Structure 1
Amino acid sequence: METVTSRDGTTIAFDRYGDGPPVVLVGGAFQHRWIDQQTARLGELLAQAGLSALHYDRRGRGDSGDTPPYAVDRELEDIDALLEAAGGSAMLFGMSSGAALALRAAATGRPVERVAVYEPPFRAGADPETTAAVIAAAREGRRADAVRGFMRLTGMPDAMIDQVQQSPGWAGLEAVAPTLAYDLTIMGNGDVPVEVLAAVKVPVLAMDGGASPPWAGEAAAAVASGVADGRRQTLPDQTHGVDPEVLAPALIDFCR
């Protein structure tokens, strides 16, 4: 494990794989190094292909610290620190809400060479009442309510949520529940961020899974068409929980 210090003094922890051209891996909701073996495997595959990967814990998760009050700019400053650790510039790969964060980093003139994203959750018609309730629960320490509400926002039925709540992994989800407010703040009202995309001038690869719901493909298409230099790629038979063995070849091809 390595660490960097963000502008506000927060410690950000990461693992580094390989020593080639760097890719910073920006996780989505719940993801961090303690539990996210898929992204760790992705980092290994990138290293084997001659790249390097920086797999970090977003603030408030895993081994990283957190300093209130929260603002999206603080997370962008975390990426600044990682870009510096990578040598001054890097490529970004963002997963789910991490994709929205990666695109915003590129749009704000940071030394980002290119951006790949997988299924950024842009979709019209987000439920503002449930979103507000999840943010409130996350901020007030009602962790179970925050996790359950967030899962409802993703479309998971209550019966399945009940099953997850009885599983051994539930405690790990509750541990990072306060950061769900961060993900929802990044996503805003859920609409495609047209102005953000228009400001991205580096090459962008927007990916989705062939077995994912329609919104995922629609979001990937919107990203690819909304940036100056974008393309879309659908990974056959994949869902939102993409297999790193399938994701890695597409990402490696784009990053070389």
Structure 2
Amino acid sequence: MRTVISKDGTPIAFDQSGQGPALILVAGALTTRADMSSLSAHLAPHFSVFAYDRRGRGESEDSVPYAVEREVEDLEALIIEAGGPAFVFGHSSGAALALEAAVQLGENIQKLAMYEAPYNDASEAKLAWKAYIYQLTQALASDRRGDAVALFMQYVGMPAEQIEAMRQSPAWPRLEAIAPTLAYDHTAILGKDGSVPIERAVQVRVPTLIMNGGASYPFMYETARALSKAMPHGQLRTLEGQGHGPADDVLAPALRTFFLG
């Protein structure tokens, strides 16, 4: 594990593996760099892979108040550490952060790949999102971190019995520890109502691969299609048979083809 110091003085922990052009992995909600280790291993024969703990997670520190700009600065610090422009891949809400970084950092990101940024323009989805955000805010304000994690799992469709089993698992304390970062992803990075950010997407000037899973939620395809149409250099790809968490041996070749092609 190594650290880089972000612009506001916050230490950001990361692992580096492999040799080749720099590729930075941006994780989604409740995910740390440890969860990216398998994907890193698949990519390391072709890239110098940087997997990092986003601020407030794992071994990275945090600062208050939170701002999306600070997370973009974290990514910028990693790009500088990598020696200049880098490839960036973001998964889920990490893809939304990577999109914003591409707008702010311009050509410091050579190419961008995104997998299932969870924006949703459907009206019924906006109502569910509003209710989720309200309950999440209340749980975190009361420091009910376990309830916040369970609420997120319920929102994404995990059965109640599976959530209860997770509460009893050794992994639960780690999830509770990073529960406050749910607010970062869901009340800041994804915007006030989780709509597809067309006005930001049109400002992404670098080549961008927008992916969805063929076995995932139908709205993920609609979101990916909307983003790919809005981005000047966007291309859409569906990974057949994959859900919201794609298999690394399917995702890695798609990333390798896009970044090195």
The answer to whether the superposition gives a TM-score over 0.5 is: yes
* Contact 1:210/1:234 (<8 A) preserved: yes
Residue 48 of structure 2 corresponds to 52
**Equivalent of residue 112 in structure 1, options 97, 105, 109:** 109
Shift of 1:183: 0.8
Runs of 4+ in 1 over 4 A off after TM superposition: none
Moved more, 66-75 or 148-157: 148-157
Query: 2: CA distance between counterparts of 1:135 and 1:182?
Result: 11
Verify: 1:146 aligned to 2:142, yes or no: no
Looking at structure 2, the residues matched to 135 and 17 of structure 1 have their Cα atoms a distance apart, in angstroms, of 37
In the alignment, the residues of structure 2 paired with residue 41 and residue 48 of structure 1 have an alpha-carbon distance, to the nearest angstrom, of 13
Q: What letter matches 1:80 in structure 2? A: E
Q: Look up the match of 1:121.
A: 118
- Provide the C-alpha distance between the structure 2 equivalents of 1:15 and 1:140, rounded to a whole number of angstroms: 34
* 1:88 CA displacement: 1.8
Contact 2:76 2:105 in 1 (8 A): no
1:6 counterpart = 2:6: yes
CA contact under 8 A between 2:203 and 2:231: conserved in structure 1?
A: yes
C-alpha deviation, 1:117, in angstroms: 0.6
Structure 2 unaligned blocks of 5 or more: none
In the alignment, residue 177 of structure 2 is paired with which amino acid?
A: A
Q: Match of 2:208, as an amino acid? A: V
Contact 1:139 1:178 in 2 (8 A): no
Counterpart CA distance in 2 for 1:194 and 1:101 is 14
Is the CA contact 2:19–2:45 (under 8 Å) kept in the aligned structure 1?
Answer: no
Counterpart code for 2:150: R
Give the whole-Å Cα distance in 1 for the aligned partners of 2:85 and 2:142.
37
Amino acid at match of 1:63: E
- Describe the shift of the 1:140–1:72 C-alpha distance in structure 2 as closer, same or farther (beyond 3 A): farther
Identity of aligned residues (%): 48
Shift of residue 90, structure 1, vs aligned partner: 0.6
Could you tell me which residue of structure 2 aligns to residue 210 of structure 1?
Answer: 214
The alpha carbon displacement at 1:139 in A equals 4.5
- Structure 1 residues 180 and 192, CA, compared in 2 at 3 Å: closer, same or farther? same
* Aligned counterpart in structure 1 of residue 87 of structure 2, from 91, 96, 109: 91
Query: For the Cα contact (< 8 Å) 1:138–1:179, is it kept in 2?
Result: no
Tell me the CA shift for residue 235 of structure 1.
1.1
Shift of 1:144: 1.2
What SS does the aligned partner of 2:88 have? strand
Range moving further from structure 2, 231-240 or 124-133: 124-133
Quote the Cα distance in structure 1 between the aligned partners of 2:140 and 2:49.
30
- Identify the match of residue 42 of structure 1 among 30, 39, 43: 39
| 1:75 is the counterpart of 2:71 | yes
Whether the 8 Å CA contact 1:43–1:52 is kept in 2: the answer is no
Render the CA deviation track for 1:226-247: whole Å, top value 9, x for unaligned.
1111111111211112111110
Q: Which residue of 2 aligns with 1:22?
A: 22
Distance 1:136 1:82, change over 3 A: farther
Query: Who is 2:200 aligned against?
Result: 196
Residues of 2 paired with 1:41 and 1:139: CA distance? 35
**Equivalent residue in structure 2 for 1:103, among 99, 103, 109:** 99
One-letter code of the match for 2:250? V
> Would the aligned equivalents of 1:209 and 1:234 in 2 still touch at CA under 8 Å?
yes
The match for 1:241 is 245
8 Å Cα contact 1:93/1:117 also seen in 2:
yes
- 1:164 alignment partner AA: M
The residue number in structure 1 matching 2:224 is 220
Q: Distance in 2 between matches of 1:219 and 1:22?
A: 28
Partner of 1:32: 32
**TM-score using structure 1 length:** 0.94
| 1:165 and 2:167 matched | yes
What stretches of structure 1 of length at least 5 have no aligned partner?
A: none
